[in-house]
Structures are given as structure tokens and as C-alpha cells.
Amino acid sequence: MSERYIAAVEISSSKIIAAVGKTVNEGHLDVIAVEQEPCVDAVRYGIIQNLEETSMRVMRLISRLEQRTGIVPRKIKGVYVGLSGRSLKSISTTVELNLPPDTEINDDIIVKLRSDAMRHAVDSSLEVVDAVPRFYKVGHAEMHNPKGTVGNHIAATFDLVVCRPEVKRNINRTLPEKLNLRIEGFVVTALATGHLILSPDEKRLGCMLVDIGAETTVVTIYRKGYLRYFATIPLGGRNITRDITSLNLLEEHAEEIKITSGNALPRESASTLNLNGIKHSDISNLVVARAEEIVANIIEQIEYAGLKETDLPGGIVCIGGGAKLNGMTELINLQSGLPVRTGKLPSYVQVQDPKAINKDIIEVVSVMYAGATLSNRECLEIPVVEPVPATGTAPGADEVPTEPEPTRTKRRGRLFEGFARRLGTLFSGPDDDSELME
């Protein structure tokens, strides 16, 4: 990493978060400032629904960031954008190449394999956004890095990450077209998050990363050091909130009750308490029922990946707003029998913004870190101000020559000539009204 400023935007179903960080040579990232805006009505399941509303909120975020200490007077010209949403998932595919005898595998061959995988035919309603290698085979030997090996045949298994074309298309229509904000690159948020907060040992042992958002829950499973499975479940914390609104509450009030009084674990005895006339037991029943449904869907992904709980000794790592619900991680632990921990940023990422809560910004910081490591682009620029001379004349401006002041006789003659000319035009009809303004 060269030292430079990086900006990232993460658009989720509940909020839009924008952040600016600064990289240093040792691979550290300093998060300078983070801003967020709610977007419950503008984005659904990770897809922008209202382009105008979303662009206005992003514009406000960018404006606030540019005014923060450590950023001013720089202007944000480009951003890395996280891709997430209900349609994101992975599809496994295998590609292979026949090579001349005793060919040494090099970068060009590996790039060719990935390009062939990216062109793999998928459902016409989906777009391939990334190809993540699981493993390579040179001859009969399986490996993670084939570069430098020798053989006459190589095969590679990739996980194609796909999504609906509207995800990227609506982001392009919002940021570059409406805000003239350059997109430096798209980053699959779930993969960037797994790279940042999961340890190599957890990936080798086998582990699951669970991001419980507002309307979706993203599950990624790693095994033997590589991505084994990626899926998005159309359930999240907002489903619990909406269930509580059935008790004749506004969504804002239901969200507050969920945060302060909700618990994913059932109580041992029924509560007789009331919250503003609403039985606490009714709230508890709704929260527990929906939480159990979300957790059951999470654990079921292990079977869909062709694995068992015993294949994931690295356990489950939970992030996202939904994971902060009281008792949620404990419920996942009870239902899966696996160790569960809450994800956190690594030590080489330092958050300098005192207003930012580390657990709430993991996704946007992961996108920012991925952009910093995969590219050398600069996202911020210092405006160039042209110096103005003391006389107030712009540099290079042509000087206007001054004429000597005419004598009194010449002035009287010109005045008369002008009067006669104006008098004549009153009858002939002027072609140019400026003649009347002499």
C-alpha cells in the first residue's frame, strides 16, 4: 500500500455509510471519518429503488465528509462501492486448459483460467461480478497456488459471485450520472469482510461468517482456506421490527422496543410486565419466533454447502445490526453447537473518528481496505487554486491600451456627430439597438 486517501460507500437496506481512510506503507489503514444516512425507503434488499433520493443522501454524506478535520480542503472525486443484496450468491464452476508438455504455470495461464470462468454461462437474469478460486489441479495434485509448477494440464474450480444486473446498473445511474462521482471499483462486501476479519487459521479449519442486516442475512463459508459457499437469505432484523408493528406500533417505536427489550432467547417464565399498555410477553413471543426462523435458515446453509457442523471447527463469526439483538449469538450457539464470536476489526485498522462505532462500520471499512490493497488509485484531490496578482488582473490577460484624452474641440465634434447619427436612425429604423445607447 502506498500512502494515499481512500473513500468507500456501502449501500444497505437500512442505511448508507460513507467513509474516508488513509493508507500507510506498512499495510495499515487509518479510518479518518465516517458518516451515515438512513435509507429505509430508498433501497430494498440491497437494490436502489429511488435514484434521486439515494443520490441526495450520498451527496449529503460526501459533503459532510469533505468538511471533516483531516480531510478538508480535499474533495472526494472517486469511491469504492460495496456490492450486497438479496440476489448475490455463488455458483461453482470448473475450467481447464491443455498445455504443451512440461509447461511452467505462470500468471498469464492463471489469468486465462479466471477469464474463462468469468465467461461461464449463467442464468440470463444474473451477472457475474467476481470469480473466486477454490483450488487448482496440475495433473492430479491439488493446490492453492499453482504458479511455478510444471505440467501439461491445469484445472481450476471457481466460485462465481453473481447478482442481478440492476444492482450495479442503479449504482452507476446514481453515483457517476447524478453526482459525477467516479466509481473506482466494485467490491463484493461479503468477500471483503471475510478477508478482513477472519483469520487464516479459521478459514483453514472451516468457519462461517454471518452478516445479519436489516432485510438480508449473508452467509459465507470457508473451508481449507478458500471460499466454499456464499448465499444471501431474504430475512433480517427488520423482519422482527415489522412483526412488532403488528401490536399497533409505528415502525420507529417497534425498532426501539426491539433494541431495548427484545431478546432472541425465550424466557423461562412468562412476563406480566406491560410496555405502554403492550404485554411484554407478546413482544417476546414475536421476537423469539422470528429470531428462531432466521437462525434456522442460517444453520441450514451448512447442509446446502454440502458440509456438516463438524466440518466447521473454526465456528461462526457474526456481524451486522441484527447480530446485536440481545441473545442472538447465544441462540446461534445453542442451535448449531458451534463456537460463536462477534466479528471485530483487526489491529492494523485504526478508527480515528470518535463518533464511529467499530462494530457498525465493519462492512464499509472492509470495502475501503479491499480497494486500498487491490488498486493504487487516489480517491481524494486537493483543489488547485490559480494565484491572483496583487493588481487583480488575471495572469496572461491582454493589457488594454489607453488612448490619449481628446481635446475639447474634438470632444464637441464627436458629440455632435453622435447626436446627428442618432437623429437619423429614428427615421430609418436602426438595425442594432446599441446605436441608441451611445
- Could you count the other beta carbons within 10 Å of the beta carbon of residue 108? 8
What residue ranges define each of the domains in the chain, with the CATH number in brackets? 5-86+167-191+348-381 (3.30.420.40), 89-163 (3.30.1490.110)
For β-strands 89-104 and 150-163, DSSP reports them as antiparallel
pLDDT of residue 424: 39
CA–CA dist 360, 366 (Å, integer): 12
CB 224 within 8 A of CB 307: no
CB under 8 A, 24+ apart: contacts of 400-406: none
pLDDT of residue 376: 86
pLDDT of residue 48: 93
- Residue 310 phi/psi, 5-degree rounding, is -70, -15
CB under 8 A, 24+ apart: contacts of 389-397: none
CA–CA dist 342, 338 (Å, integer): 13
With cell 483487526, the residue in question is 346
Dihedral, 194, 200, 204, 210 alpha carbons, nearest 10: -20
pLDDT of residue 377: 87
pLDDT in 10s for each residue of the chain, 438 residues: 568 999 999 998 889 999 999 998 778 999 999 999 998 789 988 889 999 999 999 999 999 999 999 999 999 999 999 999 899 999 999 999 999 999 999 999 999 999 999 998 888 889 999 999 999 999 889 999 999 999 999 999 999 999 999 999 999 999 999 999 999 999 999 999 999 999 999 999 999 999 999 999 999 999 999 999 999 999 999 999 999 999 999 999 999 999 998 999 998 766 666 777 788 889 999 999 999 999 999 999 999 999 999 999 999 999 999 999 999 999 999 999 999 999 999 999 999 999 999 999 999 999 999 999 988 889 999 988 777 666 655 555 555 555 555 444 444 444 334 434 433 333 333 344 333 333
pLDDT of residue 426: 35
Terminal Cα distance for the chain, rounded: 67
Residue 150 CA: distances (Å) to CA of 95, 113, 136: 18, 16, 13
DSSP string, 118-131: HT----TT-EEEEE
pLDDT of residue 389: 67
pLDDT of residue 235: 95
pLDDT of residue 124: 85
pLDDT of residue 287: 97
Collapse the DSSP code of 31 into the 3-class scheme (helix H, G, I; strand E, B; otherwise coil) and give the result.
Answer: strand
- Could you count the other beta carbons within 10 Å of the beta carbon of residue 238? 21
CB 148 within 8 A of CB 105: yes
Q: Which residues of 200-217 are buried (b: 16+ CB within 10 A; e: fewer)?
A: eebbebbbbbbbbbbbbb
pLDDT of residue 410: 45
Q: Which residues contact 181 (CB under 8 A, 6 or more apart)?
A: 58, 62, 76, 77, 78, 79, 175
DSSP string, 1-26: --S-EEEEEEE-SSEEEEEEEEE-TT
pTM for this prediction: 0.83
pLDDT of residue 104: 96
With cell 446446502, the residue in question is 304
pLDDT of residue 46: 82
Can you name the residues that pair with 187 across neighbouring β-strands? 82
